[in-house]
A and B are shown apart, each in its own frame.
Chain A
Amino acid sequence: MSYCVNCGVKLAPSEKECPLCHTKVINPNIEKPDFHPVYPDRIDIRKKVNIKYLMSIFVLSFLIVAVICLTTDLLISKGKLTWSIYCVVSLIYLSGLLQYIIQKNIYISHVINLLGMEFFILIFALVFKIVDIYLRILLPLTLVLWGYIFVITLLVRLKKINNLRKISFFLFYTVISLYVIELAINLVSYSSIMPTWSFIASIPITIVALVFFIISFSKKVIDAINQKLFI
């Protein structure tokens, strides 16, 4: 039996090196050491599903459905494309959602889906000839919605910031969103672009956000809150 020259522990006959400090076992008295392992070599591991392969099957099946829709529409509508456009655009958007399964970076998936959703709505706007409304109200609203998705994702993933500060950031973003929403509505109705209701609503939200933000730096207050809310 050998000793580790670094740690001073005895090493079981199975050990080629010290498991604690990885110092190699050198015993000049033993010519051919027999390191018989105490565990076998077999590794217990689940068979991994080939997600990329699975996704390509999904996309291929979507493609087949899209081709069937287009062909049927062309045959029924005598050479014109009508309802099949909606089907094809929806299928393209659905394929975009699959990104969440294969893409490891969630923010890239969000960007792809944001672009997919905008493309989806733009096609409908073009078909129904409401591009102006799309640009003035639908686009800003979807951007606000995606802004929320980005902000929430970011706040959930940030582990070093305490929860009160996260809530304050969320509230600050809500204030910005309110201004954007009112501006979009005003642009559609061609009224004054000066904010009114969003300004009134933003005052209490900003105050609460500021209070939370300031409190988030005081450990004593946080401890007191935790003590009161302790379950």
Chain B
Amino acid sequence: MFKTLKNTWWAQSFQGESGQALRRQVAKFFYVIFASLIVLSIIFTIFFKVTKLSSAYSGVGFLAKLFLLFFAGYQDNGWSVGEFPKIWTFYLLIGLASALCFRSRIFNIGISGQLIVAGTVAINLLKHFEGTTQNNVTTAHFFLVLFLCCLLSSFASLLIGVLKLYFNTHEVISSIFLNWTFYYVAKHSFTVGRYAAASPTTKSVALAYTTLTNNFFGAAWLHWMLLTLAVLLALACFVLFRWTTLGFKLEAMGMSSKIERYAGFSRSRQTLLALGFSGFLVGIAAFVYYVLKEQEFRVGFGPEVKGFEAFGISLLAYNSPLGVVLTSWFFASLDVQSLWVSTATLEINSEILTLIKGTFTIFAAVATIFDRFKLFRSLKHTFLYLKADKKFLPTYFGFKKQLFLAVLRGWFQSATIFGKTLVKRPTIWKQQKKLREFTTQYLWAAQTDDAQKEQAFLAYNKMKKTVELTLTQAGYYDQRKHTQRQKLLRKTLRYELSVYKNSLLNFQGNN
């Protein structure tokens, strides 16, 4: 069975030299997740300690609870079951749109603006249809709105491409400025326009409740169908980049700035295709988000924040269309759970969950730090050595033990407090103790008795010899091995000896 699996194309793409990049990517994905989980658990532990709230959870316990809720939460309340496919579809489509542009090295910040364009038109048109049909909007009306969403969003996206290609405006400038322009136009239409917000504080325009009851687009199965469609689109993108010339041309554009001159294709055509298709995807996403999920348009303080999460989704997946499916599932699960789970079960504010998204994005952005981190390879090598040599493991662990002890010893040796060692201290300590005994026994006795003076000097010389012997044995007189710390030690010992010698001499002089 394994042999047949090994011969399939997807297994082969992991094997050999050509599959090394793919293997590295998959490994890095797991390293990113593990690293961010470790960091998150530390952060949450500190956060709960500082705020002295929800002591029931440590950092790790909190994360475990959260991940259990990822799967258990859907059964607990009916609301999240209905919302989940919509949010997943939305994140999947915008992540795909962003990944498409990133692959051909176009930085499409305009996703937010395109969402606003499509959402504004959709909500306005549906409000208009509600008025004309007395809240009986038919399925055909919805399809018209969906079509217009895709069309307008594509145009908004193509505008960035046209400005980039024919007017030499960098796409970062044009997309940021168009985002703000579209935002103000939307704000105008929803505060001063025909369908203005009911209250100026909320600044949101909601669809009538009847639009989505007893309707084709209100059915739950359709949302799952839309999700399937989005996944199929991701698959289509995968096929496009893997097997078609068009996909390779798009990818080649990202490789070099002048590659089209060598390969012989039109750069402008490819750019417009990439931007137009990503705009089309954003159009569907806007329809799913504004019409099906939110059923209203909320005017915030700037361009739609949800649009900027597309970069995080596509970055975490390394711009791979199939990876986007997984990462968007992750983001959508966080979103679904955040509202009711955070407040009721986990006792934390829903905004804290932005920490989780943020940490994953950061580690995905700096995934290159894991380039030289080869856990599986070292495990595999250990296993192979073990297989070849039965004695390998004992020697391996023996070596490890020795290494560990050496490191420990080194640590103790380096842990000096004002020049005094922790490990080498006992040997010198003994000598110092002997010196002290010498003073108490002989010197104080010699105060009264002259006969003991000679004995005292003899004893002192003997002591000096033994001290110097121990010092030479310990390598303190070997000039090659001297370190600063050893020099200091020698100095202090010599000083101590000289003090005793002087005391002896003074004692002589006094008599």
**Do chains A and B interact in one complex?**
no
